[in-house]
Structure 1
């Protein structure tokens, strides 16, 4: 009996490290990270953004002003919210003018603007009107999606034109963006959008200690990108980079499950400080099994106005505030309060499907 108790204790220590592979998507369409060239290229683009991380805090603040205007319009046209990152790549959320005459946050050409009902004249240019330009961009994106039947291809066509994308699909016999041979700008376009999405939505992947704090101008040394990757088989040194460790097969995303928890009070906070959380539900997700009322602790880092916490489960279980956003507001630490732990529920791990640690032990012993 004593031996069994010891084995259960060891198992409980090991279970939190059973994690599923990170899955990256754009508009719900899975990015084939199992292909070396795709993972190398995406991580190379992320690395380039990290080199200029000084602009990221200001860009995030700007996005917090623009996104509340852009998101409802995207929803009105049933355009995926991931397209809100497109104007960051196009213009840095500014009314810029391109060398070829594209204008505004969405970088719309004069002829296209006229077709979409925007007024463009010497004294008044509606491409610089955020609301009107976003409506026009959504109309265009919907049209591109109808023509190409893919949000990824629609985004690529926003850059290159639907005719160019259609001709390449026909000539190359593939409608897979990640396989198509396109001009250099369009070939990198989707990667740039996904890189910004990753840096905005999953900054905890790049925090100090296990990553790189992309939204802090003074970040600790030691990045997950410090180790050079092997040269890709394609021989493209420009995209020689770190590979995200993922499975070999693209699989559908399992459902997200939410567990209630409570944040323990802490009067002061500094980067790297331990944050404690009490679990109010039994948690079982991604091979992680924890009984309710257990206390969890992890190091926290400030990103913008929120604190992100590394609970030690990588992407298997992530801390969210009660408002459904990653991380928790700094002020909540001073009072404590309700938070959430989220994990993906699936049966890919035999351990994750078991009802208790004892069942898991029985499975291993037999």
Structure 2
């Protein structure tokens, strides 16, 4: 932790033992990371994405073009925004054609397209029309949710069909996706969506050298999204273990606390260098109190031309741009500028006491 001249060893100790667990969710439905097989499977999927990470920057650039079109349509149908990651898994945001005839970014089958009002003909296929196909996909997702009463199950049914999911629920006596025994493709489907969501929304967690990165990686510099290192024959030697904190109580959802701050300009920033931030508000989080006009600093990493900074608070205090996006544009470092530090909803209050335990999951 790099907070100049303010925090004592006692405060460091308080932060290290704050007990707040990292929660992973899909559409607001909590992923049961306390189950070893769930955490192992999710991290295994993320690990595979990292191993072939060379495509991620290009995929993020494509998403920046597609998401502004997709998100308002999802909101129009009251479909959670996490479903914007589904076409990444389905098609890589391309008008691909599957071996069984699914087409477009949403990979809609011909029969389903006709039921949803899309025109499919030899000369014109509306499955390749992003706006029309997204409207159709949202109608289908809403229908699946109405049938299954779960966004997670609705996403699984998008892959396998509602009939197959309903039959498995009835046969196995469980509505828990993570417990159901499904075909291999559907069993991995939600994990793939969540893995992409994690890599897009919390890339800093998977960067070598970041203060609270998930993977204990042998290399100490370079970001996850840089040119990928050669894959070793043993593969898994690059990744050792992950350590997950399991909270038996879950903090109630509260809106984030926003603190005003300003970057100190750095005209020649390079990946891994310190980023200095001037705090414009008094900050209070998990037993730590820092007065305004104090200076914070932490290492910064570049991901798709945005800089993410490890302030040493884990995920309790995170750097955001004033547009509400995590990280800040790289150009902003050259001139300085206003930014935000966002804390968890209870950061102005006493942190929720959790009964927590630790489990180490081998990635071999």
**TM-score normalized with structure 1 length:** 0.85
Which structure 2 residue ranges, 5 or more long, are not aligned?
A: 1-6, 214-221, 354-364
Q: 1: CA distance between counterparts of 2:304 and 2:197?
A: 16
* Equivalence for 2:98: 98
The alignment yields a C-alpha RMSD, in angstroms, of 2.5
Q: 1: CA distance between counterparts of 2:172 and 2:240?
A: 33
Alignment of 1:131-170 (within 5 A): 131-170=131-170
Q: 1: CA distance between counterparts of 2:237 and 2:120?
A: 45
- Shifted more, 128-137 versus 331-340: the winner is 331-340
- Offset at 1:347? 8.0
* Equivalence for 1:78: 78
Structure 2 residue matching 1:245: 3-state secondary structure: strand
Instruction: Please state which structure has a larger fraction of its residues in helix.
Output: 1
* Equivalence for 2:344: 344
1:250-276 residue CA offsets vs partner (Å, 9 max, x unmatched): 554443211111111112101111111
- Offset at 1:56? 0.7
Distance 1:17 1:294, change over 3 A: farther
Which structure 1 residue ranges, 5 or more long, are not aligned?
A: 1-7, 230-241, 354-366
* Equivalence for 1:262: 262
* Equivalence for 1:233: none
Structure 1 residue matching 2:256: 3-state secondary structure: strand
- Offset at 1:9? 3.7
* Equivalence for 2:285: 285
**TM-score normalized with structure 2 length:** 0.85
Structure 2 residue matching 1:179: 3-state secondary structure: coil
- Shifted more, 338-347 versus 316-325: the winner is 338-347
Q: 1: CA distance between counterparts of 2:185 and 2:169?
A: 17
Larger-gyration structure (1/2) = 1
Q: 1: CA distance between counterparts of 2:293 and 2:236?
A: 33
1:157-212 residue CA offsets vs partner (Å, 9 max, x unmatched): 00011111111111111111111111111111000000000000001111231347
Structure 1 residue matching 2:246: 3-state secondary structure: coil
1:70-125 residue CA offsets vs partner (Å, 9 max, x unmatched): 11111111111100000000011111111111111000000000000000111111
Structure 1 residue matching 2:189: 3-state secondary structure: helix
| Residues 1:216 and 2:226 aligned together | yes
Distance 1:335 1:18, change over 3 A: farther
* Equivalence for 1:10: 9
Distance 1:63 1:194, change over 3 A: same
* Equivalence for 1:197: 197
Distance 1:331 1:348, change over 3 A: closer
| Paired residue total | 333
- Shifted more, 115-124 versus 343-352: the winner is 343-352
| Residues 1:306 and 2:306 aligned together | yes
| Residues 1:45 and 2:45 aligned together | yes
- Offset at 1:284? 2.0
Structure 1 residue matching 2:223: 3-state secondary structure: coil
- Offset at 1:332? 1.1
- Offset at 1:289? 3.1
Q: 1: CA distance between counterparts of 2:286 and 2:164?
A: 42
Structure 2 residue matching 1:331: 3-state secondary structure: helix
Q: 1: CA distance between counterparts of 2:106 and 2:351?
A: 47
Distance 1:32 1:350, change over 3 A: same
Q: Is residue 253–residue 345 contact of structure 2 (8 Å, CA) maintained in 1?
A: no
Distance 1:309 1:131, change over 3 A: same
Q: Is residue 285–residue 345 contact of structure 1 (8 Å, CA) maintained in 2?
A: no
- Offset at 1:227? 4.4
Q: 1: CA distance between counterparts of 2:31 and 2:38?
A: 8
- Offset at 1:215? 2.2
Q: Is residue 16–residue 289 contact of structure 1 (8 Å, CA) maintained in 2?
A: no
Distance 1:191 1:218, change over 3 A: closer
Q: 2: CA distance between counterparts of 1:52 and 1:349?
A: 42
